[in-house]
A and B are shown apart, each in its own frame.
Chain A
């Protein structure tokens, strides 16, 4: 299939991170078009028509999210860009912001105009401090050229744009935790409702969007929502940045048209070029650490035998029984030498470390799962531990005020679902499990 790039096409052009070079390649056209010839509602309408779905992981339609924004008279509104990219396996926004900072700035201006926001923020994880400086340089240039500040391009529209860092906390990728952090507080998620669209930053109506979603607004406004919607398949429209990691020949960030086959993405010459060191594929987590892991025989094909595609629908085909999720596009690949129990423990440790501690099921449950998985991995587990993990899982899922609990529970549940034999082998053969890996599992002969 064709391979149109809308977000990172020119990033290898010398000086593309400067205003002048970016502008020479057609940059900031969407701002001119929106501010001079469109009403804010018309911009929202184009985003709705584009079918763009939130690129941070949840996949919620961006245009619809925008239309929920409350607009009480005389109350300031805000657009906040979520650049807290922290989901293990995900490093696409970092790439986009570092290589193409003006695209994000342009998207912020056009999107802020659509939402009627006059003070907007980019909240970036503290570890990306060097990118904060890249963005601030780009913002300074945009101010100097009249694309930010008072009366932008003589339109009468004013916008100030600021960047704020986090301090190292995965939870701040959750939008209400992010807002708390932006207010200079601990990143404890808020109870919803009220949603940020009604009460967000400093109590004002606020939209929070992922970096890539905001960047995608630029081509959508330039070319029209209908043109954008022609790319992709069904309800998976447009292009998507996929960050590929793990045991691949060529890991990295790729912009794909949604609908590319998973087979092509893993093995194709234009993409990851297969499994590193001539090994075999064992498993794949296609959308960031929170989404269910797939065993090798469900990665490139669905349980029904159809080609698995890089779309929201196809990756979820089969539900949690035999499918997964596109998520954030954090595509993690495991070769035959990797231990699923060890990786599950590693992820559990991550969630335990990152739980904010507000809700007991998550605070206690993530720590408990980490302990149980640690003893299974280190040869001290028993069969009952596997059931125990499933029980703890059920007690976390759905019982917390933010999705971190679910995000911690799903990977464990999926690992046990597909790799139960490997978990049991760790119990039955603890000595062997310390010295060698279990290897590949075989595809069940009966349809799963």
Chain B
């Protein structure tokens, strides 16, 4: 997959305006509190959080790059490696397992011909597992770009893959 992890990056005008708004919402001197949300914004724009992106965030917040690295590496939602256009994060924790999440994960692996952690050759899908996503009563479930897809069955997974391929979920 084509990607670069060197050289300076720029964020879009839209991302920058959101970042500046966020920083302004915190009291003087407490702007570091905006860091996690800024990382979400960066990932939404870039698809993942690269080292140059983190350096840029450090520069914007006027903090040391290490302060960004240590946070980005702590929280599991941030992709620190390039990922596919869509990342399916399937919940694998107890309540989901009780109603078949293991089977769903295996089904997606076979269907996309990748293992957990891998990306399809065309760069469209990455499959990951997640710990409890907070939808136990609607299990099994997966999340993709902050969107929950619940009550998963093999048929529903087939549909979802088609829906994502056709761009149906690209709006909103």
Residues of A within 8 A of B (CB): 85-91, 94, 119, 125-130, 162, 164-170, 181-187, 202, 243-247, 251-253, 285, 289, 330, 332, 334, 338, 342-343, 346-347, 350, 353-354, 356
B137 to chain A, nearest CB (A): 4
Residues of B within 8 A of A (CB): 25, 27, 30, 32-37, 39-40, 67, 70-72, 74-78, 92-95, 97-99, 130-139, 143, 146-148
B33, B76, B94, B133: which contacts A182 (Cβ < 8 A)?
Answer: B33
The prevalent SS among residues of A at the interface is mixed
Provide the bound-state CA to CA distance between A91 and B35, in Å. 26
B46 to chain A, nearest CB (A): 15
Please indicate the chain B residues that have their CB under 8 angstroms from the CB of A168 in the complex: 75-78, 130
Q: A86-B132, A167-B77 are in contact. Are A332 and B94 (CB under 8 A)?
A: yes
Contact, CB under 8 Å: B75 / A89: no
Please indicate the chain A residues that have their CB under 8 angstroms from the CB of B34 in the complex: 184
Q: A88-B93, A167-B36, A186-B70 are in contact. Are A338 and B98 (CB under 8 A)?
A: yes
**Total residue contacts A-B, CB cutoff 8 A:** 140
B20 to chain A, nearest CB (A): 16
Q: A94-B135, A353-B131 are in contact. Are A246 and B95 (CB under 8 A)?
A: yes
A127, A202, A330, A332: which contacts B98 (Cβ < 8 A)?
Answer: A332
Contact, CB under 8 Å: B37 / A253: no
Please indicate the chain A residues that have their CB under 8 angstroms from the CB of B137 in the complex: 91, 243-245, 251-253
Q: A129-B146, A166-B36, A167-B78 are in contact. Are A186 and B71 (CB under 8 A)?
A: yes
Closest to B63 in A: A184
Please indicate the chain A residues that have their CB under 8 angstroms from the CB of B39 in the complex: 167
A126 to chain B, nearest CB (A): 5
Contact, CB under 8 Å: B74 / A169: yes
Provide the bound-state CA to CA distance between A81 and B27, in Å. 18
Please indicate the chain A residues that have their CB under 8 angstroms from the CB of B33 in the complex: 164, 182-184
Contact, CB under 8 Å: A86 / B134: yes
Contact, CB under 8 Å: B30 / A202: yes
Closest to B172 in A: A130
B40, B67, B75: which contacts A129 (Cβ < 8 A)?
Answer: B40
Provide the bound-state CA to CA distance between A130 and B78, in Å. 17
Contact, CB under 8 Å: A85 / B131: no
A87, A91, A181: which contacts B135 (Cβ < 8 A)?
Answer: A91
Please indicate the chain A residues that have their CB under 8 angstroms from the CB of B67 in the complex: 184-185
Q: A167-B39, A343-B94 are in contact. Are A332 and B75 (CB under 8 A)?
A: no
Contact, CB under 8 Å: B136 / A91: yes
Closest to A181 in B: B36
Provide the bound-state CA to CA distance between A187 and B36, in Å. 11
A360 to chain B, nearest CB (A): 18
Q: A164-B37, A244-B137 are in contact. Are A127 and B146 (CB under 8 A)?
A: yes
Contact, CB under 8 Å: A332 / B95: yes
Contact, CB under 8 Å: A89 / B94: yes
Closest to A169 in B: B75
B29 to chain A, nearest CB (A): 9
Please indicate the chain B residues that have their CB under 8 angstroms from the CB of A186 in the complex: 70-71, 74
List 24 contacting pairs A-B, 8 Å CB cutoff, sorted by A. A88-B93, A88-B136, A91-B137, A91-B138, A94-B135, A119-B27, A125-B134, A127-B134, A128-B134, A129-B146, A130-B148, A165-B37, A167-B75, A168-B76, A185-B70, A187-B74, A245-B98, A251-B138, A289-B93, A338-B98, A342-B97, A346-B93, A347-B93, A350-B131
A78 to chain B, nearest CB (A): 11
Provide the bound-state CA to CA distance between A94 and B132, in Å. 13
| Smallest CB-CB A-B distances: 6 pairs | A167-B75, A245-B136, A184-B35, A168-B77, A168-B76, A251-B137
Please indicate the chain A residues that have their CB under 8 angstroms from the CB of B36 in the complex: 126, 164-167, 181, 184
Please indicate the chain A residues that have their CB under 8 angstroms from the CB of B148 in the complex: 130
B101 to chain A, nearest CB (A): 10
Additional 18 contacts, C-beta under 8 A, given A246-B136, A346-B97: A126-B77, A127-B134, A129-B40, A130-B148, A164-B36, A167-B77, A183-B33, A184-B32, A184-B36, A187-B74, A251-B136, A330-B136, A334-B98, A343-B97, A346-B92, A350-B93, A350-B131, A354-B131
Provide the bound-state CA to CA distance between A418 and B156, in Å. 38
Provide the bound-state CA to CA distance between A14 and B68, in Å. 43
Provide the bound-state CA to CA distance between A125 and B93, in Å. 17
Contact, CB under 8 Å: B97 / A130: no
A412 to chain B, nearest CB (A): 13
Provide the bound-state CA to CA distance between A286 and B133, in Å. 19
Provide the bound-state CA to CA distance between A22 and B39, in Å. 34
Please indicate the chain A residues that have their CB under 8 angstroms from the CB of B146 in the complex: 127, 129-130
A94, A126, A350, A353: which contacts B40 (Cβ < 8 A)?
Answer: A126
Closest to B36 in A: A167
Please indicate the chain B residues that have their CB under 8 angstroms from the CB of A202 in the complex: 27, 30
Please indicate the chain B residues that have their CB under 8 angstroms from the CB of A181 in the complex: 36
Provide the bound-state CA to CA distance between A343 and B92, in Å. 11
Closest to A86 in B: B132
Contact, CB under 8 Å: B40 / A91: no
Q: A127-B134, A183-B32 are in contact. Are A167 and B94 (CB under 8 A)?
A: no
Q: A167-B77, A247-B99, A353-B131 are in contact. Are A185 and B71 (CB under 8 A)?
A: yes
User: Most B CB atoms within 10 A — which of A88, A119, A169?
Assistant: A88
Contact, CB under 8 Å: B77 / A246: no
Provide the bound-state CA to CA distance between A183 and B33, in Å. 4
Contact, CB under 8 Å: B74 / A162: no
B22 to chain A, nearest CB (A): 9
Contact, CB under 8 Å: B94 / A289: yes
B133 to chain A, nearest CB (A): 5
Provide the bound-state CA to CA distance between A276 and B71, in Å. 42
Contact, CB under 8 Å: B40 / A165: yes
